[in-house]
Amino acid sequence: MTNFLTRRGAALLAMLRVWRATLSLTGEVVVAALSPAVYNSATRTVVMKQIYFTAVQILVPFTLFAAILSFVLIQIVVGTAAKYGLSEYALEMVVRLLVLEVLPLVTALFVALRSGSAINTEVALMRINNELEALEDSGVDTLRLEFMPRVIGGMLSVLSLTAITSVLALVLAYLAVYGLQPWSLPDFTRVMGQVFGGGILAGLGAKALVFGLAVTVIPVAEGLATPKMMFMAPISVLRGMVRLFFVLMFIEVASLAFKYI
Amino acid sequence: MPLRANLSVLDNIALIPQYRHNLDYETASGQAWNLLLLSGVESAALKRDPQLDHVERFTAKLLRAAIEQPPIILIDRPALLLPDTHYPRFLRGMLERLSDHLNDCWILDYRWNAPLYHPHPPSPAPR
């Protein structure tokens, strides 16, 4: 019994240590990202490359996927609404479902799988191979040159991909509800005005930014917490991805509760 | 230290003066390009780490170290970085080409590899 409690207590303390490190890293990265002095020529180059590899490179395939997903969901919602005589609410339901909830979450999960897992692996291997210490010993600020660019790339990636796929979903929703004609634009605009109040838009932007922060800071923090043994690298990625999944779901549930309860 | 995987060889070398002296990208990449020309591996300038062969990767790391002209550059066990290459001759040629940009360069290698670094004795004249 004592052994069991000791093991559970040690595991709990280890988990709390990782969470504290994650929150501390989040604060440091946010402060650094908002400090103009940090952006010298090298940081700008690395940040731009990171944005390219995290956001621009995946733009076309992800937009195509989001268009197919949006098209299928719009058809389901519009068809079901027509079946129950609720066609007048179909557009609002589509926008609330897709633009406010599904697309930001799917974008964050996609960036997490593509970039978050890669960041977790990179940082874990850098730690295991003592590269972070070597960089710091040679006077390089790892927060500025290694971690902050990845976080900015992730945040901008989630924000921009959410915005692009949301606009695409709105166009598809218009076509599904009104058809290929411009005469219903005033009706469409009125519904958009009802759905997208200032608070909702600000909340959507904030949610995308917090998603972007989570998909990069959690993998970096988990990579930094990796014990210096090569076989711990895959375990670190596994832990990082599981924690990231629960954090993304928690943010989504909190956002739903805030809006609708 | 490995090269940054998401930067080209040119960008990896230029990043050092950009970081140390806040040089703009054009000036820093100009310096990096001159070193690449001098070393003879300019064809690797736009490649990224996974696309490089051993010689190109070694040269990129050497140029990254040399661009700041530090007092000493230490090459630790070059055989590990240059497998399948007759590295003493390659190193001699590379260090000669970069001699204007190097202050002092030490090569650390196993004692039993010392004969590799001695020039070959002249072959006997045919009778």
Please determine, for residue A176, whether its predicted confidence score (pLDDT) is greater than 60: yes
Give chain B's domains with CATH numbers.
9-116 (3.40.50.300)
Q: What is the pTM of this model?
A: 0.84
pLDDT of residue B39: 92
Average pLDDT on B108-122 reads 78
DSSP string, chain B: -PPPTTSBHHHHHHHHHHHHH---HHHHHHHHHHHHHHHT-GGGTT-BGGG--HHHHHHHHHHHHHTT--S-EEEE-HHHHSTTS-HHHHHHHHHHHTGGG-S-EEEE--GGGHHHHSPPPPPPPP-
Tell me: the pLDDT tens digits for A186-201?
Answer: 999 999 998 898 999 9
Residue A1 pLDDT grade (very low, low, confident, very high; cuts 50, 70, 90): confident
Average pLDDT on A215-244 reads 94
Mind telling me how many Å the CA of B61 is from chain A's nearest CA? 14
Interface size, chain A vs chain B, as Cβ–Cβ contacts under 8 Å: 36
Please determine, for residue B126, whether its predicted confidence score (pLDDT) is greater than 80: no
- Nearest CB to A41: which of B5, B6, B23? B23
Residue A135 and residue B1: Cβ atoms within 8 Å? yes
Mind telling me how many Å the CA of B22 is from chain A's nearest CA? 5
Average pLDDT on A90-116 reads 93
SS3 sequence of chain A? CHHHHHHHHHHHHHHHHHHHHHHHHHHHHHHHHCCHHHCCHHHHHHHHHHHHHHHHCCHHHHHHHHHHHHHHHHHHHHHHHHHCCCHHHHHHHHHHHHHHHHHHHHHHHHHHHHHHHHHHHHHHHHHHCCHHHHHHHCCCCHHHHHHHHHHHHHHHHHHHHHHHHHHHHHHHHHHHHHCCCCCCHHHHHHHHHHHCCHHHHHHHHHHHHHHHHHHHHHHHHHHHCCCCCCCHHHHHHHHHHHHHHHHHHHHHHHHHHHHHC
pLDDT of residue B127: 55
All residues of chain A having their beta carbon less than 8 Å from the beta carbon of residue B14 are 45
Mind telling me how many Å the CA of B11 is from chain A's nearest CA? 9
Backbone angles phi, psi at A2, to 5 degrees: -60, -45
Residue A139 pLDDT grade (very low, low, confident, very high; cuts 50, 70, 90): confident
Nearest residue on chain A to B16, judged by CA atoms? Answer: A42
- Nearest CB to A131: which of B1, B7, B28? B1
What's the mean per-residue pLDDT of chain A? Answer: 92
* Whether the complex's predicted ipTM surpasses the cut of 0.90: no
- Nearest CB to B1: which of A43, A45, A134? A134
Tell me: the pLDDT tens digits for B51-74?
Answer: 999 999 999 999 999 998 899 999
Tell me: the pLDDT tens digits for B14-34?
Answer: 999 999 999 999 999 999 999
